[in-house]
A and B are shown apart, each in its own frame.
Chain A
Amino acid sequence: MRVLIAIEESDCSKKVLESVLDRCWPNRSLFRIISVFEPSQVLTAYSPGLYTPDACDAIAKAEHEEFLGKQTYVNDAVELLKHHLVAAEVTGDVLTGIVSEKILEESREWRADLVICGTHSRRGLAKMFCGSVAEAVANNAECSVEIVKTKSSAAA
């Protein structure tokens, strides 16, 4: 079984990993943990006239730190799964792009049987503006999808 796990630095992703560790998997299961870095459009689209070079540098530095943070988070998650699921093959990567599109693209290219992701369960205006990655994945994936909700995310 090929299981794609989409995580980010949040409580619901911790719950996702707990949920993965808390069950038995078929022999020879493969796990791929991904986190998607969504770069801001500021530098590419608006920087020349709008931002000073210092501001551009600060944004670029912040984004680089965010990328490294995701890389560390994914590496830690890979180690955690390798430690607990000894027989499983676990890989991880940080991808760059629009989050839901990248998860769907990866699920197709990697030929995942199951995609597992968490959700913030945004409602109302927050959802209108931010959308829901989990929903987009659930609706458009070509394989099974598990959306892990925490009690707090469900109450939001």
Chain B
Amino acid sequence: MNIVIALQKELDSKLILDFVSNYRWPAKSKFKVVHVLHPHECTSKTKREYLERFLNSFVQKVKKNTGSDDVSSVVDEGEPVGAVLRVSEYAKADMVIMGHDPAHAESHKSVSESLAQLEKCSIVIIRPPFHTGGGAKAKDTAKEEAIV
């Protein structure tokens, strides 16, 4: 099974890791973690290094918690929906896992909303669970906590 994890926010990483760790994945499952940088996003060398460290640490946690040896990460640049579609198509993804993001002001659609519509494989949109005080309120406060 090929799984793509679209990771945009640090807060999402904990929730996504929780989900990934609790799922009984078939043997030889492959995970590809993708972070998309917006073309206009300011990425200094320090921020890039932090991002790489963060992704590497996430990859190690996924490896440890799932037992899979085939976990890699990629940083793509461009419009997020197109970039995730590109990566998932290239990886022949059976499932895309991502956090929920607020609607984009111009298109009135969030990335997760667009991907739910356009993605050809199963998609999981992760939000904070109710028992942790999550739900809509947590969703709103978490919107600007990007990794870099």
The stretch of B37-45, B79-87, B110-118 in contact with A is B110-118
Check A139 against B134 for contact (C-beta < 8 Å).
no
Partner of B134, one of A143, A149, A155: A143
Nearest CB of A to B54, in Å: 22
B136 within 8 A of A: yes
B contact residues vs A (CB 8 Å cutoff):
15, 19, 22-25, 110, 112-113, 116-117, 119-127, 129-131, 134-136, 139
Nearest residue (CB) in A for B134 is A143
Nearest residue (CB) in B for A24 is B24
Q: Which residues of B lie under 8 Å from residue A148 when comparing CB positions?
A: 122
Check A19 against B127 for contact (C-beta < 8 Å).
no
Check B131 against A139 for contact (C-beta < 8 Å).
no
Check B124 against A149 for contact (C-beta < 8 Å).
no
Q: Which residues of A lie under 8 Å from residue B139 when comparing CB positions?
A: 142
Check B24 against A139 for contact (C-beta < 8 Å).
no
- In angstroms, Cα B123 to Cα A142, docked, is 16
Check B122 against A143 for contact (C-beta < 8 Å).
no
Instruction: Give the tally of cross-chain contacts (CB within 8 A).
Output: 76
A113 within 8 A of B: yes
Check A142 against B136 for contact (C-beta < 8 Å).
yes
Check A113 against B131 for contact (C-beta < 8 Å).
yes
Nearest residue (CB) in A for B132 is A113
In this complex, which of B117, B122, B123, B136 has the most chain A Cβ atoms within 10 angstroms of its Cβ?
Answer: B122
Nearest CB of A to B102, in Å: 11
Nearest residue (CB) in A for B126 is A144
The stretch of A46-54, A88-96, A130-138 in contact with B is A130-138
Nearest CB of A to B48, in Å: 30
Partner of A138, one of B25, B125, B131: B125
Q: Which residues of B lie under 8 Å from residue A146 when comparing CB positions?
A: 122-125
Known: A26-B22, A134-B116, A139-B116. A113 touches B130 (CB 8 A): yes
- In angstroms, Cα B139 to Cα A145, docked, is 13
Check A113 against B116 for contact (C-beta < 8 Å).
no
Q: Which residues of A lie under 8 Å from residue B19 when comparing CB positions?
A: 144
Check B129 against A147 for contact (C-beta < 8 Å).
no
Check B135 against A149 for contact (C-beta < 8 Å).
no
Q: Which residues of A lie under 8 Å from residue B127 when comparing CB positions?
A: 141-145
Nearest CB of A to B126, in Å: 5
Check A143 against B117 for contact (C-beta < 8 Å).
no
Nearest CB of A to B101, in Å: 11
10 A-B pairs within 8 Å (CB atoms) are namely A23-B24, A24-B22, A24-B24, A26-B22, A142-B127, A143-B134, A144-B124, A144-B126, A145-B125, A147-B122
Check A144 against B125 for contact (C-beta < 8 Å).
yes
- In angstroms, Cα B132 to Cα A2, docked, is 12
- In angstroms, Cα B119 to Cα A150, docked, is 12
Nearest CB of B to A6, in Å: 15
